[in-house]
Amino acid sequence: MSLLEQIESVKQAAVTELQSAEELPALERTKGAFLGAGGRFTALMKEMGSISKEERPAAGKAMNAAKLEIESALVQRRETLELKAALPAEPADFTLPGRRRRVGRLHPLSQVTDDIVRAFRRLGFAVADGPEIEDEYHCFDALNTPADHPARDAQDTFFVDAAGRPLLRTHTSSVQIRVMEKMPPPIRIIVPGRVYRRDNADATHNPTFHQIEGLYVDRNVTVGDLKGTVEAVFRDLLGSDVRLRFRPHYFSYTEPSLEIDFTNALVKKLGKDWLEIAGCGMVHPKVFETVGYDPEVWSGWAFGFGIERIAMLRYGITDIRLFYENDVRFLRQF
Ligand code: DAH
């Protein structure tokens, strides 16, 4: 075999072996076997001294090119193996349970809200959201609540002193409008959220509290669907002895409108027969017209409950202000 052929064959062997090294020590051993003092490639370089002058330039050139190729294969493989060595043997499983003891807990209002949301999700409702700083249009006008309606009174509403008369939403019903403006029917949503009213703080009122709004729009929706849905959710939340009563009422954005009263053993224990718990009704055709739904085609119902009311019933709490004081002696009990 000529020297040139030997260079080619040793180079091939070196590159193949380097590329197949599985670990860094093996790679370094291979490097030594070819490029080390007694290495196979080094041995070829030593032969340069014993070849004729005429052969030397071509052999030198081939030798240099082969060495470059071997070194580049070495560097490449080294990078790959170093990266492999830096990675954990098995990828981390972030779904494994943590070892740390759980610190703290959810606020009782968050727990009740989560339970209500879960109960509605089981029935196919999605959660929607909207701004707490609203405009009069979404809070009142679009809900068929005219400018002279007492609900807008400065006694009831916090207006923000800024252009466009923004206000703190007095109910989550504003989100009904925002959702219907954005998408066509059918709609099945609930909206948990914070609302604001100039109620004086006493044992059962606070200037800010939480509501859950519900809206269901489709073809041929009936009051029967409303009653069935609300009853199923309250039984789920507060026990199977729950009874509901629907009384006629007035809301400008529903027709007919109803109020829902609730009773169970807890209510009896509080010395009452019924507790008012929610407002609801069939969505008023004017509301549908305002958002561009055809009231001849679509029908729907809506409701709004107070979350604090439900939490107070569930836990037998008689003073709403306890929820906002953040006294750990109170919070630790949930
Ligand atoms: N927005 C009402 C309130 O804050 C509650 C309510 C009544 C919501 C009837 C509704 C509804 O969606 O249809 O007291």
Q: Please write the tens of the pLDDT for every residue from 1-22.
A: 888 899 999 999 999 999 999 9
d(CA 175, CA 129): 7
Q: Tell me how far the alpha carbon of residue 84 lies from the centroid of ligand 1, in angstroms.
A: 61
Q: Please write the tens of the pLDDT for every residue from 157-179.
A: 999 999 988 999 999 999 999 99
Question: What is the third-level CATH fold of 108-331?
Answer: BirA Bifunctional Protein; domain 2 (3.30.930)
Q: Would you say the pTM of this structure is higher than 0.75? A: no
Q: Tell me how far the alpha carbon of residue 233 lies from the centroid of ligand 1, in angstroms.
A: 17
**Residue 298 near ligand 1, beta carbon < 6 Å:** no
**Residue 216 near ligand 1, beta carbon < 6 Å:** no
* Domain ranges across the chain: 3-84, 108-331
Share above pLDDT 90 across residues of the chain, in percent, rounded to a whole number: 70
Q: Tokens standing for 22? A: 């599985």
Q: Tell me how far the alpha carbon of residue 173 lies from the centroid of ligand 1, in angstroms.
A: 6
Q: Tokens standing for 303? A: 């409701």
**Residue 173 near ligand 1, beta carbon < 6 Å:** yes
Tell me: pLDDT of 155 over 80: no
d(CA 226, CA 287): 18
Q: Tell me how far the alpha carbon of residue 150 lies from the centroid of ligand 1, in angstroms.
A: 15
Q: Please write the tens of the pLDDT for every residue from 282-302.
A: 999 999 999 999 999 999 999
Distances (CA, A) of 119 to 23, 125, 130, 287, 312: 55, 9, 21, 27, 18
Count the helices and strands in the chain (H runs, E runs): 13, 9
What integer pLDDT is reported at residue 50 of this predicted model? 85
* 228 Rama sector, left if φ>0, alpha if ψ -120 to 50, beta otherwise: alpha
The answer to whether 301 touches 223, Cβ cutoff 8 Å, is yes
Where does residue 149 rank: exposed (0-12), middle (13-18), buried (19+ CB within 10 A)? Answer: middle
Residue 81: which H helix or E strand, with range?
Answer: helix 56-86
Residue 265's pLDDT band, with cuts at 50, 70 and 90, is confident
**Residue 306 near ligand 1, beta carbon < 6 Å:** no
Here the contacts of 152-157 (C-beta below 8 Å, separation 24 or greater) are 154/198, 155/198, 156/197, 156/198, 157/197, 157/198
Average pLDDT over residues 267-275: 87
What integer pLDDT is reported at residue 89 of this predicted model? 78
